[in-house]
Amino acid sequence: MTSMTVNGRPIRFRMDPDTPLLWALRDAANLTGTKYGCGEGDCGACMVHVDGEALRSCLITIAEAEGRFITTIEGLSRDRSNPVQQAMVAEQAVQCGFCTPGIIMAASALLAKNGAPSEADVKAAIPNLCRCGVYPRLVRAVERAGRVANRRETISAAPAPGISTQDAAREVPALSVPEE
């Protein structure tokens, strides 16, 4: 039994302790926003926050995550109101979207430490791969998100594409793995 806090809720996984955190989140906790890309630490699609640090969940076992605080894209903001999410949409830095959750988790961890990152800072902190090639837009989005987070800019409050007002207000479903 491996215990940790995921998106603010205690959770215990009845799984092999060597299970990668990625698979525990996706298969047991049904948090499928965290994506599987390479499984080898190269692409960043599986990025989550572990105690506030952006880490690749395919490279961490649940034993290594024991007792730690995990945040996935589902826990970052329920209604996609996080400045990085808003800026990614506003700068059209979302194409197919497969890499987007990992990028957002890496970017939000960066902005928590550095509210005004340079282009070089963004490239160093977000090595995520994007097969759609959104890199220039990604840099603009993260710089813009920093300005929004620092209240030097606002982004239109228009609803994010693909999410209804009702969905935004809906409670996040309980994790499917019960605590004992």
In the complex, the residues that contact ligand FES under the rule CB under 6 A are 36-39, 41-46, 56, 58, 94-100, 130-132, 134
Q: How far is CA 158 from each of CA 86, 89, 107, 142, 163, rounded to the nearest angstrom?
A: 10, 11, 22, 19, 11
Nearer to ligand FES, 42 or 119 (CB): 42
Residues pairing with 176 in the sheet: none
Q: What phi, psi does 6 have (nearest 5°)?
A: -120, 120
In whole angstroms, the minimum distance from the beta carbon of 104 to ligand FES comes to 11
Q: How far is CA 95 from each of CA 89, 91, 99, rounded to the nearest angstrom?
A: 10, 11, 9
Nearer to ligand FES, 56 or 80 (CB): 56
Provide the token pair at 174: 């309980």
Nearer to ligand FES, 1 or 163 (CB): 163
SS3 48: strand
In whole angstroms, the minimum distance from the beta carbon of 126 to ligand FES comes to 12
CB 64, CB 125: distance < 8 Å: no
In whole angstroms, the minimum distance from the beta carbon of 138 to ligand FES comes to 9
Nearer to ligand FES, 24 or 134 (CB): 134
Nearer to ligand FES, 47 or 76 (CB): 47
67 exposure class (CB count in 10 Å sphere: 0-12, 13-18, 19+): exposed
In whole angstroms, the minimum distance from the beta carbon of 102 to ligand FES comes to 8
